Amino acid sequence: MSNRLAKVFDLICIRGESISVEHIAEQMHVSTRTIYNDIQRLNAMLASKAFPVIRNHQGLLSYDHIPSLTFSSLIDTNDLIYIDQRFRRNIITQIILTRPQGFSIDELSQSMQLSRNTLIRDLARIKDELLAQGISIETISFKGYVVSGEEPAIRAALTHLFTVDAVHFEHVIPTEDVSMLDELTEILSDLADELSVTFSDTAIKRLLAALYAAYRRVRIGKFISNSPSVGLETREQELLQHYQSRIACCYGVPTIPEGELLYIAARLHESSVTHYDDLLSENWLKLTVLTHAFIDELAQVYPSAGFSEDDALFQGLLNHLRPAYWRAYHNDQVNNPMLGYVQTQCSELHETVCSSVHVLETGLKVHFDEAELAYFTLFFAASLERRNCVVKRYTRVVLVCQEGISTSQILRARLHALYNVSVVAVLGKRELKAWLAHNYADLIVSTVPLNVDMSRITKKPLPVEIVSPQLTEDDQERLRTVLDARSSDIDISELMKLITKHVSMDEHQTQSLVQELGSYFHGIPHQHYLKARYEPMLKEVLTEDLIACKVHAPDRDAAVRVAGQLLVQKGVATPEYIDAMIENVEVNGTYIVIAPGIAMPHARPEQGAQGIGFSLVTFDEPVVFGHPSNDPVRLVIALCAVDHQTHLNALAELTDLLFDSDVIARIENATQPQEVMALIEGDRPW
């Protein structure tokens, strides 16, 4: 209840606008009677701190916003323990999961000042809840109650307690742990910088909760000494080796076992991001091919939706899929505040996503739960919103969203579709101040209260509008009164008519300019100029003149250079592309080697790609690339593409070949390009 109370408080007291009881009940999925009870409790809390109470005029609630008033300032933990069963049980559960030994009813009764009967009733419910998570509470003579279960399960239960109720988390942290949490926050910030990711605000909170749960267990001598291997060396695992002493110091222990580092790495894997630089991760090839196949599956059901041509859809899904995979792999459930919206407002699209997700589940050998499927749906919903968008002159808007990529994408797309705006940045609350110090915006739209005077940062007024992630009708109406709706439409087709009067362009140049103008004006180009992109087959982009057999290469860079030179000779890449590939191998060396003996270097399209091409090189002697388990490399396949999608059909074909050990052996033993080409075309001459 305390979590709902906080949300009701924000809706009424922080926004400072009138809102109906019925509307709040609909948003919270509870009865109006429940909301009236919540208002009574909030008024009692406000009155106890000498604040004005919430006004109620025939079911219309209002409150004059007070800048210094926050929900946490109203909370008295002892009061909540008595009036809120859920809060009390969370506190009891947290206590028993962080005790080094057993506990007794009398000890709990004395420390919490609760009756034995109340504790016995609560403990019966807690036992059932923990048992469902694989944790048991047993009675042992002369010891009382003892908690038993696997350490990861106990930590997962604690993490859930700390994240499901922000009020609970805030009030169970002892004063002496606050500085430790600040240090953990710094560690997460440094890890994010080195991983080249920006975690969502929700992900940061969940990571802090997970690390704090680990800290509380470590402090009572409960370590994860062993962790099941995932079979892959990940960037997170590699990086955490350098943070071992820092984390140990933070936890107040001499050293951190390897299992603890793997536990932290797993939590990082699962964390949603709002931004991911163009770095490779483990399984990047499989994730890329599966993302493309998943989008194609949806595109067959919605042939006119343009899913296959939407680069933002592909990049967004690809970036989301990695943490989603790890969450499913570790059976870690995620909370999706947009689930209800997806099920009611996007029901047909959601059903299609659910029936098509087998493409991902089969390829990755995991199962995605309903909340995760709803996130997938949001990406496609955002794509449809972009497709329906009219390009307009815009107001510069910064979107502050505490959720991950999918929630921010759908909200961003709806803002673009509904108003004359350009969302110039999507940020977490923590990033906003730094961004505003160097950038300009006309308006901030936020899904969370900011409680900051923006004029102190920007040196001039900057309005802030608080909205729900669902962007309700009330939110939409309020934004309409704020945004300048007098701007005129910009028609890309009209712009193109003006340009082509003075400049001659071939079809490729026209398509490219239309896309760039659409991106510049923050909309979707006119459909007259958009054509379905052609995706060539493997044998069209990996031809005989792009194959070299039994080449000598003294080192990694030389091996990449040989493969790159074939692309340059073919005319699909510039010499600068070779240098970019070598630099990319330096940064992503571990992940370039995609399988035992096979490396797949490439660079970004804008770094010198002039066409689509794959080159294939085998070596007279294996080459060391620096991979801990897949070295040495006997086969290098260099990729070159002008965008992120056009080459994916060919890449999918190539992937099928690479997973056929017999074909790979024959390619490595081939002495002539013709022999390799015969394999690629499906012939088996030997």
Residues annotated as catalytic are: 602
159: its two tokens: 């993490």
Q: 616, 546 in Cβ contact below 8 A?
A: yes
3-class DSSP state of 48: helix
CA dist 243 and 246 (Å) reads 5
Task: Convert 473-498 into a string of H (helix), E (strand) and C (coil).
Answer: HHHHHHHHHHCCCCCCECCHHHHHHH
3-state secondary structure 594-621: EECCEECCCCCHHHCECCCEEEEEEEEE
Q: CA–CA separation, 641 vs 608, rounded Å?
A: 10
Question: Which DSSP string do the residues of 77-97 spell out, in sequence order?
Answer: HHHHHHH-HHHHHHHHHHHHH
Scanning the structure block, which residue is given the tokens 């990319």? 584
Find out whether 144 and 104 touch, Cβ atoms under 8 Å: yes
Torsion of CA 565, 567, 573, 578, to 10 degrees: -40
Strands 144-149 and 60-62: unpaired
Residue 680 near residue 539 (C-beta atoms within 8 A): yes
In DSSP terms, 616 is beta-bridged to 547, 637
Burial 242-258 (b: 16+ CB within 10 A, else e): ebeeebbebbebeebbb
- For 555, phi then psi, to 5°, come to -155, 180
Three-state secondary structure readout of 308-335:
HHCHHHHHHHHHHHHHHHHHHHCCCCCC
8 Å CB contact between 145 and 137? yes
CA 304 to chain CA centroid, nearest Å: 28
The alpha carbon torsion through 579, 582, 586, 589 (nearest 10 deg) reads 150
What type of residue is 202?
A: T
| DSSP letter assigned to residue 63 | -
Structure tokens at 418: 């509904």
